[in-house]
Amino acid sequence: MDCNTCETPGTVLVTTPEVVNVNLTITVSAKEMLENAFGDDRSHALLVGVLSGGCSGYMYDLQIVESTEQDCQEILIEGFRVLVPNATSHLLDGIEIDYVDRLMGGGFKINNPNASSSCGCGESFA
């Protein structure tokens, strides 16, 4: 309802990022961990996504899924199906998925050439 006492806000432009054909790599240590996680069942896929949040603006989201409702690219790497949502493909092109052993336990780490900054743990980026 407009009472004519407030300024009318300007138009908000929403832009959809261009979909990029993603190229990514998986290190030997990450491949070994995925082999342990998947076993002989290759019907599942590794979903590599991005969530808003984290200490740097975005957080990586890795999931093993049977399928997803998201519009994704499917990439076959080293016998593994990797799904990358088209909505975040521009953020994930060129990434390297690694697995790193740490003092307090290991975990996957994403090396992202597109990130202008990232946190020390390698789980979030800007």
Q: What is the pLDDT of residue 1?
A: 55
Q: What is the pLDDT of residue 78?
A: 84
Q: In what order do the strands lie in the sheet with 45-52?
A: 72-77, 80-85, 45-52, 58-65, 124-125
Confidence bin at 119 (pLDDT 50/70/90): low
- Residue 8 or residue 38, greater confidence: 38
CA–CA gap between residue 43 and residue 21 (Å, rounded): 23
| Structural domains of the chain, ranges and CATH numbers in brackets | 25-125 (2.60.300.12)
Give residue-wise pLDDT tens across range 23-53.
Answer: 999 999 999 999 998 888 888 999 999 998 7
